[in-house]
Chain A
Amino acid sequence: MHSSSPSSPAVGSGLRALSIAAAAVMAVALGLVFFYAPLDADQGFLQKIFYLHVPLAIVALCGFVAGGLMAIMYLRTREARWDMRSYVAIHMSLIFAVATLITGSIWARGSWGRWWAWNEPTLVSFLIVFLLYATYQPLRFAIEDPERQARYASVFAITAAAFVPMNFIAVRLSTAYLHPRVLGSTSNLPPRMAFTFVISLLAVALLYATLCSCELAAKRARAQLRTLRRLADARAGAGADAGGQSRRTRSETPPMPAAGTLAAPAPRGGL
């Protein structure tokens, strides 16, 4: 039913390699940002936010679109693991999106003296996309049946992924002819800046991948634990009448509707 394949050790070592790579590239990227990349001609030191904000935004958007592609895979194969991947990709992108919005706001404050700039189409589109995706989890956890939950969440993920580029075009149209582009033009960067940017992008992408695999590993572990507990409960129930002694029934964990999927609304720790 769920993808608790016996590949846990491989997952563990892959995760370790991934996190080491992410940390290393992140350190290199930070070094490049502050010691290698030249100061921007008109933005000056403030432009250093660019190496953080723009990779965060790109990775978050790619994560949203990837979540949509995985949702397509779910609707094609009906394998719960694709739904879980889609969920994790969107969940993590939401976290990155929060960081993008805050760093963008700080940049706007430093650059224009205001915390929000409506004339910056990328930032505004990003907010709209964020507001749409913020309803993903409420939608998910408002559906009890795990199969329908996965199906409806997939339909949402595909719709929203298609909405991302359309929304960007529409918002860009609404401002393009009024204001010059300020942020995120990577085409005419000096080579040292471009190199730093690419490494930063790689670092943020690796961080995203690492956190996604962490989340997936945690989800798998929890699902396996739940299965194990159900098995143990069943055996304890079968053996109870033979023993006849006061068995310590741990009834504080109600049986989940279906283990392995994301059926139950997480009572705690849900972001």
Chain B
Amino acid sequence: MPTALLGALPALPLHEAGKYVAAAYVVAFAVVLIYVAIMAVRLSHIQRELGELSRRERAAAGRQPDSTGESQLP
């Protein structure tokens, strides 16, 4: 199947123009990928902060003098 697909490519001149076309598409893909990676890092920062905040809130809720034990989240 992959070979059939490759065969359908119209006269693929990989020796000359092909490498430039491939380079261009790879570069565009890489730029988007780098951006997505940066977004992932940022998302993990947000997630970590959120986890920290919720842990703190839970601890604070447990320490409240008027709060009873059963209202704590697992």
* Chain B interface residue bracket vs A: 35 or more
Check if A225 sits within 8 Å of B31, measured CB to CB: no
A46 and B20 within 8 A (CB): yes
What chain A residues lie within 8 Å of B31 (beta carbons)?
95, 98-99, 102
**Complex formed: what's the CA distance from A198 to B23 in Å?**
22
A side interface size, CB within 8 A: 43
B residues contacting A by CB (< 8 A) are 8-13, 17-18, 20-21, 23-25, 27-28, 31-32, 35, 38-39, 41-43, 45-46, 49-50, 52-53, 56-57, 59-60, 63-65
**Looking at A53, A103, A207, which has the most chain B CB atoms within 10 Å of its CB?**
A103
Contact A99 B27 (CB under 8 A): yes
- Which B-chain residue is minimally distant from A39 (CB atoms)? B10
A248: chain B residues at CB < 8 Å are 56, 59
**A256 contacts the other chain (Cβ, under 8 Å)?**
no
Q: Name which residue of chain B comes closest to A30, CB basis.
A: B25
A260: min CB distance to chain B, Å: 15
Task: Give Cα distance in the complex from A188 to B64, angstroms.
Answer: 74
Q: Smallest distance from the beta carbon of B55 to chain A beta carbons, Å?
A: 10
Return B53 CB to nearest CB of chain A, in Å.
6
List residues of chain B with CB within 8 A of the CB of A225. Answer: 46, 49-50, 53
